[in-house]
Amino acid sequence: MRERPRPIYKIKLGTPEDLAIMEALRRETDAVFRVDANAGWTVGEALQLIPVLAQLGVEFVEQPLARDDWDGMRVLYKESVLPLIADESCVKEEDVEACAGFFHGINIKLTKCGGITPARRMIGKARSLGMKVMVGSMNESTIGSAAIAHLLPELDYVDMDGPLLLRDDLGTGLAIGADRVTIPNGAGLGVEFTGLFSREAAAGMTN
């Protein structure tokens, strides 16, 4: 945080030291915090932690409970002072409606749901149910992240830092700055393959 200040941080939790971690990080920055519990809490733990996280400036909590703990999510949905975003509980299109009344929003991953077209249908369904929409990522290269970037006008939240986590990227053209993303102007996604995954290599893979 000191070396590369950002306006928003997504923090992975689900450990016995969650509160200590959050308090230590908050001492370092006034930035917005978003928390991903990675299905690591029980209902009781979530009910205790979430009000404190709200006081620490957390914007929302992603996947607080196990993906199939619907009874727990029903309780948490009614009690939580922070929005709850489904991740592992919402993978494919039919999961969106199932999450209504248990989560305040959904996190879509293009690599899990099948790409841009099903993702857009998931966005439309979530909106019709009054739910917030986020698109997330794992270790997508510039190519996958450019696909996410083209959905930005339809999103409430986004997590697309995959290229920043890679030593060797597969493409160029998308620019991720400290507080904004610049989309290239070329055809399609606008990206160009690097030497790591050149057009020649791609052609060889299809032959």
pLDDT at 12 over 80: yes
Report the candidate in 50, 58, 51, 54 with the shortest Cα–Cα distance to residue 29: 58
pLDDT at 202 over 60: no
Average pLDDT over residues 165-175: 86
123's CB contacts (< 8 A; 6+ apart) are 108, 133, 151, 154, 155
- What structural domains and CATH numbers belong to the chain? 8-206 (3.20.20.120)
205: confidence class by pLDDT, cuts 50, 70, 90: low
| pLDDT at residue 4, rounded to an integer | 84
148: confidence class by pLDDT, cuts 50, 70, 90: very high
Average pLDDT over residues 152-171: 89
Whole-angstrom Cα Rg for the chain: 18
| pLDDT at residue 194, rounded to an integer | 81
DSSP secondary structure letters along the chain: --SS--SEEEEE--STTHHHHHHHHHTT--SEEEEE-TT---HHHHHHHHHHHHHTTEEEEE--S-TT-HHHHHHHHHH-SS-EEESTT--SHHHHHHHBTTBSEEEEEHHHHTSHHHHHHHHHHHHHTT-EEEEE-SS--HHHHHHHHTTGGG-SEE---GGGG-SS-SEE--EE-SS-EE---SSTT--EE-GGG-HHHHHHHH-
Average pLDDT over residues 166-181: 84
82's CB contacts (< 8 A; 6+ apart) are 50, 53, 54, 58, 59, 60, 61
Average pLDDT over residues 137-144: 87
Place of tokens 């959904």: 106
List pLDDT tens digits, range 49-91.
999 999 999 999 999 999 999 999 999 999 999 999 999 999 9
Task: Measure the CA–CA gap between 190 and 173, rounded to whole angstroms.
Answer: 7
pLDDT at 199 over 70: no
Encode burial over 75-86: b for 16+ CB neighbours within 10 A, e otherwise: bbbeebebbbbb
207: confidence class by pLDDT, cuts 50, 70, 90: very low
- Tally Cβ neighbours within 10 Å of residue 166: 12
| Positive or negative: CA dihedral 114, 119, 124, 125 | positive
- In this structure, the chain runs to a length of 207
